[in-house]
Amino acid sequence: MNERYNVIIVDDEYLAQKLLQDYVSKVESLQLVATCSNAFEAMEALKNHRVDIMLLDIQMPDLTGLELVKSLEKKPAIIFTTAYSEYAVDAFNLAVSDYLLKPFDFPRFFQAINKAIGNVQPRTEEGPKPAPDTISKSNDFITVKADYKLYKINYDDLLYIEGQHEYVTFHTTQRRITALFALKDLEELLPKDRFVRVHKSYIVSFKHIQDLDKSDVTVAGNKVPVGASYRDELLARLQ
């Protein structure tokens, strides 16, 4: 499946957030764009991102998941994730895609995702794009403001950057960070003696390059594709 679907997680429990983040990362067609701890953060995320699927807890402080869904004029495909079975009838009356009763395993999650994908509205129009996230640089690191947080990414820890439509994902030695930013603009921002564009969708770190073959470069054990139009420049810089 080539189409990628933007997902937000809405849950006030940290461990539940981490489990869902792990599950989302295992599905290639999913792109996590925000993790929210309450309904108000979710409303802000829905305003700032195109969201296809919302993984939504029901019992949350101030505004429940059910109340959030009822308040939305335009709804993404919704999967409720809850420890309470008594809300199932109310949930399905709201025409949600699925209802996951905690604890649930990955196969059950994947089944729910496939249902939700079938309910995603066709993208006949993109509408206005949200403002890009903020990225600034220093001599040894960049700072990325995304997903309601400020991340410091040391150049030495940055393995490669992957461009996905209007988003970029920073793959570091510790984690992945996704931000709303153009890969071309990021290429101009990063120090050229440390990083090189190898594909229309990838920038890699010189420090972490291990080997190069006909179609891929190995970066800290990860295979990254090399575009034909970038190969000669990469070879020249490696020799």
Instruction: Provide the pLDDT for residue 134.
Output: 74
What are the tens digits of pLDDT across the range 66-121? 889 888 888 899 999 988 888 777 777 787 889 999 999 999 999 999 989 888 87
Q: How many residues does the chain have?
A: 239
Verify that 147 and 223 share a domain, yes or no. Answer: yes
Verify that 154 and 182 share a domain, yes or no. Answer: yes
pTM of structure:
0.54
**Side chain identity at 164, as an amino acid letter?**
Q
pLDDT higher for 140 or 145? Answer: 140
Residue 126 lies in a domain: no
| Average model confidence (pLDDT) across the chain | 86
Verify that 68 and 172 share a domain, yes or no. Answer: no
The total of structural domains in the chain comes to 2
Please state whether 146 falls in left (phi above 0), alpha (psi between -120 and 50) or beta.
beta
Per DSSP (E only), the strands in 17-94 are: 30-36, 53-56, 77-82
Residue 129 lies in a domain: no
Residue 114 lies in a domain: yes
> What backbone torsions phi and psi does residue 233 show, to the nearest 5 degrees?
-65, -40
Tell me the residue range of the domain where 155 lies.
134-238
Per DSSP (E only), the strands in the chain are: 5-10, 30-36, 53-56, 77-82, 98-101, 134-137, 141-146, 149-154, 158-164, 167-172, 176-180, 195-199, 202-205, 209-212, 216-219, 222-225
Instruction: Provide the pLDDT for residue 1.
Output: 39
Residue 125 lies in a domain: no
What are the tens digits of pLDDT across the range 37-75? 999 999 988 888 889 999 999 988 888 888 898 888 888
Verify that 90 and 175 share a domain, yes or no. Answer: no
**Side chain identity at 238, as an amino acid letter?**
L
Verify that 71 and 147 share a domain, yes or no. Answer: no
